Amino acid sequence: MIVAGEASGDLHGARLVREMRARRADLSFWAIGGRALKAAGATVIFDADALSVVGITEVVSRLPQLLRAMRIAREALRRLLPDLLVLIDFPDFNLHLAAAAKKLGVPVLYYICPQVWAWRKGRVHTIRRRVDHAAVILPFEADFFRRHGVDATYVGHPLLDKAPDLQPAPAAGSPVVGLLPGSRHREVARHLPPMVDAARRIERKVKNVRFLVSIAPSVGRAAVEAALAGGSTPASLSLTQDPVEDLFGRLTMAVAVSGTVTLQAALAGTPTVIIYRVSSLSYWTGRLLVRVPYIGLANLIAGRRVMPELIQKEADAARIAATVAAMLGSPSRLEKMRSELLAVRDRMGQPGAAGRVADIGLRLAAGRTPPLRSAN
């Protein structure tokens, strides 16, 4: 059984299913997930699109769906008694489910663990009690978890399994700026309008600039068009549903909502400005709890601010436009950032994360009592 509550986790879970089936073709999978897990052959018992949230106020608005999904997941655990429960990110939900699994004697593998080194550090004790093994994806995480008594293996980052090619610096001419507003509907509604307002301002400063808005599969074109409705859209702006990893080769730089996509941009060597907004309550609560200097994963891995970060009130159209225009006006600054992003990529290890997690998962499942059962 696999639980992936967000779009990126759905993709990582699908790759894990394929790797596990390559090793044991008789396995069956049940999942809380989305289109990718379903396409990989898992039986999806609850659609994760109804669950994806960020921040306290957002959780409250989705509470009925979250409670229903938890009830369905617990019932599935009791009915199926799976040989293994794989949890992918989505920590508040998944750590509760892990407790139910442990009571039933179901081994728990956590793939892409909560970032307890960054905030709510006390949860590491919950992980130690409820999780049999942690498959971690950032270079410094394994040592952190082991220091706190959690069995952990650094498996590499799953993005490296489908990492975009490093892109050469675009030829001089018309710059192209990617606008990546997020993979959740509320993220798009909150971030795309100031991005487009910034694009209008940049047009007045940068000659022949063009803009590409990336539409995440988990959001869809209608949601993006709704976020654009009622405003003036620059003539140089167009929408694309191309896979984001295929988009970076066409971009001079990007403006991206904080999340997995900023690390994808780093792997491609695409200079990026990170932005993020949440509700005021979520922001101030986060300020009290978060214990890291950056929100961008590339910056955390580098140990310094490689990608500019514009958070909350700073993520307004004027500041975004000024930051982007300054970067476009300085080829040497863009090239320096590309070199720093290459160093981040080098620190992230080698591809093959899903295969390494599959091996760990099969070992855990084989070690349970009763032993691993055939799906046939």
Domain map of the chain by residue range?
2-158+351-366, 176-347
Find all residues with CB under 8 Å of 72, minimum gap 6, and list them. Answer: 32, 45, 46
* CATH homologous superfamily for the domain 2-158+351-366: Glycogen Phosphorylase B; (3.40.50.2000)
Q: Determine the residue type at 207.
A: K
Q: Distance (Å, rounded) from C-alpha 208 to C-alpha 101?
A: 57
Query: What's the pLDDT score for residue 272?
Result: 98
Buried-state track 120-133, b at ≥16 Cβ within 10 A, e below 16: eeebbebbeebbbb
3-state SS record for 214-235: ECCCCCCHHHHHHHHCCCCCCC
Query: What's the pLDDT score for residue 189?
Result: 92
Query: What's the pLDDT score for residue 52?
Result: 60
Domain 176-347 adopts which CATH fold?
A: Rossmann fold (3.40.50)
Matching CATH topology for 2-158+351-366 and 176-347? Answer: yes
pTM for the structure as a whole: 0.75
Query: What's the pLDDT score for residue 137?
Result: 94
DSSP 263: H
Per-residue pLDDT of the chain (376 residues; tens, 9 = 90+): 999 988 889 999 999 999 999 999 999 999 999 999 999 999 999 998 776 655 444 556 668 888 999 999 999 999 999 999 999 999 989 999 999 999 999 999 999 998 888 777 889 999 999 999 999 998 889 999 999 999 999 999 998 887 666 656 666 678 999 999 998 888 999 999 999 999 999 999 999 999 999 999 889 999 999 988 877 888 899 999 999 988 998 999 999 999 889 999 999 999 999 999 987 776 666 666 666 788 888 998 898 999 999 999 999 999 999 999 999 999 999 999 999 999 998 888 889 999 999 999 999 999 865 555 544 3
